[in-house]
Amino acid sequence: MTDTAYASEADAKNLSSTDLDFDPFLDLEEEINSLRQEKNAVILAHVYQDSEIQDIADFVGDSLDLSRKAAATDADIIVFCGVRFMAEVAKILSPGKTVILPDLEAGCSLEQSCPPDKFRIFREAHPDHIALSYINCSAEVKALSDIIVTSSNAEAIINQIPKSQPIMFAPDKYLGSFLARKTGRNMALWPGTCVVHEQFSLRELVRLKTLHPEALVVAHPECPENILREADHIGSTSSLTEFVITSDAPEFIIATEPKIIHQMEKLAPGKTFIGAPGSDGCIGCNNCPFMALNTLEKLYVALRDQTPEIQLPEKLRVAAEKPLRQMLVMSPLKAVTGTSRPRAVA
Ligand code: 13P
Ligand code: SF4
């Protein structure tokens, strides 16, 4: 149990249940639109959210884009449609705003893999190291870190750290080893993984590639190295989306959470997107169980009732803000960690 506090336990139970208190005949889009105006609220959504949430959001993006939006908004209320650590980042950077998350149970396996007390021991075991933490971690782990990174800006930030400075990285071991390979830095890694990305199957991916020889593979760096070796482009969710828009290939295999395909289809119409398979061969089935907890119905109720609200003890918020602000300072304005494999000339 972390010392993060939320408005009330009842909020969590309420919004986690399927019995939401609302009239089922309401036009939810219409209701959300008028509430958003009336309350001066902004709806931020990660690209792994349901398509109907993406479509109603004021802004859809990756973790870095969303933290920048949260820091800059002049709205009174931020409705954060993503997972809890993302909503916490919004609260840390915009403490004067009301930040609501449609379902407080929307956690993250990477965050769960890295309890703050164990992270503290890891940190103490590496006294000479600078502590870089992936944004997918708790506010407590952020508070114990020197700099936060996302998959969009991690490489650019590491390259600003003097080569003589040893680095420790938590909590994603696959992103950490990808960054170590890319930057040539030796990094002490925390052994966390993402439940979605670690489940892609190399055997099934190779089989799918033989069925779609024209398709390019794009992969998030949270994937294991054997999947990344098959990728034509590796990057954050924004970088993957940008790649499929600008590439002249007609077909892509997407090795990340499949709900991102909704944005890709909107932004690159006419192209074909196939979700990468898990070990059962199921195409596009690796959904993030945490992101899936948010629904349009919960979004409506949360905005209407302004709950459940993210609240953090001020001491914790201030301590977690420092490494996040450091990230924003060191992050290039247009941060892209995408790595493309040169295509063979026919
Ligand atoms: P991005 O920062 O690339 O959006 O990734 C967030 C995430 O949770 C990936 O699983
Ligand atoms: Fe966390 Fe993985 Fe879900 Fe991203 S996809 S929020 S890393 S569990």
Residue 236 Cα to ligand 1 midpoint, Å, equals 6
> Does the structure show a pLDDT above 90 at 59?
yes
Q: Give the predicted TM-score (pTM) of the model.
A: 0.92
Q: Are residues 12 and 83 in the same domain?
A: yes
* 80 is a domain residue: yes
Are 175 and 193 spatial neighbours (Cβ–Cβ below 8 Å)? no
Q: Considering 277, 305, 324, which residue would you say is the last residue of a domain? A: 277
Element (H, E) at 274: strand 272-275
* 325 is a domain residue: no
The pLDDT, as a whole number, for residue 167 is: 98
The domain in which residue 237 lies consists of: 201-277
Extract the tokens encoding 46. 């990660």
Q: Are residues 117 and 133 in the same domain?
A: yes
* 95 is a domain residue: yes
Is cis: bond before 171, omega within 30 of 0?
Answer: yes
Over the stretch 164-178, which tens digit does the pLDDT of each residue have? 999 999 999 999 999
Residue 285 Cα to ligand 2 midpoint, Å, equals 14
Give the DSSP letter of residue 276.
P
- Kindly write down the DSSP assignment for every residue of 117-153, as one continuous string: HHHHHHHHT-TTSEEEEESSS-HHHHHT-SEEE-TTT
Give how many domains the chain has, as a whole number.
3
* 18 is a domain residue: yes
Whole-angstrom Cα distance, residue 146 to residue 131? 5
For residue 151, the one-letter residue type is S
CATH number at residue 235: 3.40.50.10800
pLDDT bucket at 18, cuts 50 / 70 / 90 = low
Residue 328 Cα to ligand 2 midpoint, Å, equals 22
Ligand 1 pocket: which of 60, 173, 220, 243 to mutate (most atoms <8 Å of CB)?
220
Q: Are residues 307 and 253 in the same domain?
A: no
pLDDT bucket at 262, cuts 50 / 70 / 90 = very high
Atom in ligand 1 nearest the alpha carbon of residue 196: 10
Q: Are residues 232 and 273 in the same domain?
A: yes
Task: Give me the count of residues in the chain.
Answer: 346
Are 274 and 215 spatial neighbours (Cβ–Cβ below 8 Å)? yes
Does residue 83 line the site of ligand 2, with CB under 6 A?
Answer: yes
Over the stretch 31-58, which tens digit does the pLDDT of each residue have? 999 999 999 999 999 999 999 999 999 9
